[in-house]
Amino acid sequence: MPSNDFVRTVSRSFRVLVIGGSYGGLSAALSLLDLSQGRLTRFNCNTEAEAPTHRIPIQITVVDKRDGYFHIIGSPKALACEKFASEAWTRFQDVPGLKSPDLSFIQGSVSSVDFKAKVAHIIDAETKSSRTESYDYLIAASGLRRSFPTVPQSLRRDEFLKEAREHMTNVKQAQDGIVVVGGGAVGVEMAAELKILNPERKISLIHSRKRLLSSEPLPDDFAARVDAILRNTGVEVILGQRVIDTTPVDTKNGTRVWNLTLSDGQQLKAGHVLNAVSQSIPTSTYLPKEALNEEGYIKVHRSLQFSGVIPNAEHHWAVGDLTAWEGIKRCGGAMHMGHYAALNIHQHMIAECTGGKPDYQTLQPFPTAMGLALGKTAVSYTPVEGTREGEDLMKTLFGKDMGHTICWNYMRLEIGFRLIPPRSWATYKPSPRVMKALAVANLNGLEVVVPEFAMGETNRTPDFLSKFPLGKVPAFEAADGTTLFESDAITQYIAESGPAADQLIGATPAKRATIRQWICYAQCEILDPVTQLALWRLGIRPYDEKTEETNLARLERSLECLETHLKDRTWFVSNERLSLADITIAAALVWGFSMAIDAEMRQKYPSVVAWYERTLLAEGVKEAFGEKNFIEKRQGPKA
């Protein structure tokens, strides 16, 4: 996800309200975060695309009735497999890739929107109280209202796990078999999944039409292939029959069975019945009727702006199932819509700031295409490839978890940053080269994961070397796939990736160059002599008198320069706040103060000492650097 090295920050900030935290809403929010920080979006596949030239201060609020991200297309498996149920729902606060100071979440529902005032009225899910949220741009991505078992009805993760367990208990106790009513996409996937996970149970699928998937504009051979796979899996498929009566019967052993009557008079008995026939209803009741078509879907232009006659239509956008859009809607299409909406909103923001004209991306109608996971086999249809099936296709389309990992990784939800530390000696953990990266992450409000690492082992594994061929540490991997080595490059990347970027790396060419000057100085004039003085004290090299004298002299010369510069100054570049220059020089001096710059030497450089102590007490820095460690008497060679 390349960034623009010469990005400028606009003075205006924007508030974006996203209604809906599923595929479309999250993709829009994450794309806007990327663009606002001067980077191409994580979804970009245009090799000729150029990174934004402006960084835009932005605050995104996502409102969702659930407390987390639920992998909706995995619902049939999540309601049948306890292990997968736990994986399919992750609270927003527990998703590493969503932890950003520019992104917040509200669990609740939007009751109404005032388009003229650009204010949304929100009902909090926990307190049931009403609150208002002002915005500059609104993205409607709340989708459709679906019934169980198409989607779970729970709104909290703990409630969902309970709901899933109850459903699984009903399945296990259904000695007389399970009937799934409805042969649409959800019904066929659920029937197949139930049979795979419960091979000893009789699973029946009843559909009122003569062919499965009758409401989808798909060819007959696709439906026939689905039918054949279900039957081969062991599912009893009954077509052309409606269930006209379902009567519960309590048995002598305390269980309940169901007597089903079909339209031809046939009688069936089942231990559990799942109704997969449900009409999906747009969740657009919070919007004015002028914005909607007759079915309640949002009317949009191909830019995904609202097309209805409403105030401020250019500031209102819609993505996903809620839009009145041609073609079969799938999760991939929702993410694509979210990406495009973000690109176009960003264009509109830039135009508002610069007076230019936005250059919108235009969405094309979705092709008639579908992919279904039927137990161990997948079936797909596209106009180009026609109907396909197979276990290899299952791996390609859905992996091992109904596409959960594929979607999670595509949106890059796993981690914001992953940092492999260098070898750190027992008394000097963590390494100063990692300290500075962690400090700038703290100042940017970003989370950095530091995994377990064994020098000479972890960095020699095929996986590590595939990303970092030299095996060098520290090594860094971002959620967007960016990999870096060399601590200054890693620190700069993290510094540029958040709201404190201007403070850390400078908002003008002069400040950026000045900060870079001191970073280079730290590396060449401080860290090098400090390292030479530290190596024999750490037992890595033998003591050498000439090396000791030469590098003590080099260090003192560097400290004299710092002392001169810091007289009557609070920080290296700006008197108002520290920058990456301060953090980098402080990191370079950690070993110096703990091994070589003893009490006698410190007396010569009071301004440097005061600045160093001030830096280590700064918010964000103190958490990364820890307490200061001053040596009283420099160690000499053993007699």
Q: Where in the chain is the domain with CATH 3.50.50.60?
A: 8-146+280-360, 153-279+367-405
Question: Residue 287 corresponds to which tokens in the numbers above?
Answer: 């919007």
Average per-residue pLDDT in the chain?
A: 90
Q: What is the DSSP string of 38-74?
A: TB--TT---TT----SEE--EEEEEEESSSEEE-GGG
pLDDT tens-digit series, residues 560-599: 999 999 999 999 998 889 999 999 999 999 999 999 999 9
End-to-end CA distance of the chain: 56
Asked whether residue 427 carries a pLDDT value surpassing 50, the answer given is no
pLDDT band at 393 (very low <50, low <70, confident <90, very high): very high
pLDDT of residue 522: 95
In the block, which residue shows the tokens 């269930």?
Answer: 243
Strand order in the sheet with 483-485: 448-449, 417-420, 475-478, 483-485
Spatial distance between the Cα atoms of 421 and 87, rounded to a whole number of angstroms:
29
Spatial distance between the Cα atoms of 505 and 443, rounded to a whole number of angstroms:
12
pLDDT of residue 462: 87
pLDDT of residue 424: 40
Q: Please state which CATH number belongs to domain 8-146+280-360.
A: 3.50.50.60
DSSP three-state, residue 312:
coil
Asked whether residue 476 carries a pLDDT value surpassing 60, the answer given is yes
Strands 130-134 and 119-124: antiparallel
Q: Exposed, middle or buried by CB within 10 Å (0-12, 13-18, 19+), for 96? A: middle
Spatial distance between the Cα atoms of 467 and 611, rounded to a whole number of angstroms:
38
Spatial CA neighbour of 141 closest among 328, 337, 343, 319: 319
| Cα-based angle 360, 365, 371 (whole degrees, multiple of 5) | 125
pLDDT of residue 147: 82
pLDDT tens-digit series, residues 345-376: 999 999 999 888 999 999 998 889 999 999 99
Question: Residue 141 corresponds to which tokens in the numbers above?
Answer: 């991505």
Cα distances (angstroms) measured from residue 70 to each of 155, 156, 322, 331, 397: 10, 10, 17, 12, 18
pLDDT band at 8 (very low <50, low <70, confident <90, very high): low
Give mean pLDDT, residues 527-554.
91
Percent of residues, the chain, with pLDDT higher than 90:
65
pLDDT of residue 426: 32
Beta bridge partners of residue 571, listed in sequence order: none
pLDDT band at 7 (very low <50, low <70, confident <90, very high): low
Maximum pairwise Cα distance, the chain: 104
DSSP three-state, residue 157:
helix
pLDDT tens-digit series, residues 76-94: 889 888 899 999 999 999 8
- 0.85 exceeded by pTM: no
pLDDT of residue 489: 93
Spatial CA neighbour of 258 closest among 194, 183, 178, 182: 178
Strands 137-140 and 316-318: parallel
Question: Residue 546 corresponds to which tokens in the numbers above?
Answer: 């000439």
Q: Which residues contact 2 (CB under 8 A, 6 or more apart)?
A: 39, 40, 51
| Cα-based angle 359, 48, 346 (whole degrees, multiple of 5) | 35
User: In CATH, what class is 417-625?
Assistant: mainly alpha
Give the 3-state DSSP-derived string for 564-627, with helices as H, strands as E and coil as C.
HHHCCCCCCCCCCCCCHHHHHHHHHHHHHHHHHCCHHHHCCCHHHHHHHHHHHCCCCHHHHHCC
pLDDT tens-digit series, residues 90-121: 999 989 888 888 899 999 999 999 999 999 99
Homologous superfamily (CATH) of 153-279+367-405 is FAD/NAD(P)-binding domain (3.50.50.60)
> How many CB atoms are closer than 10 A to CB 119?
15
pLDDT band at 429 (very low <50, low <70, confident <90, very high): very low
Beta bridge partners of residue 318, listed in sequence order: 140
Q: Where in the chain is the domain with CATH 1.20.1050.10?
A: 417-625
DSSP alpha helix (H) spans, 355-486 = 391-398, 404-410, 432-444, 462-467
- For residues 589 and 526, is the Cβ–Cβ distance under 8 A? yes
The secondary structure of residue 415, as a DSSP letter, is -
Task: Calculate the CA 159 to chain-centre distance.
Answer: 23
DSSP alpha helix (H) spans, 355-497 = 391-398, 404-410, 432-444, 462-467, 487-495
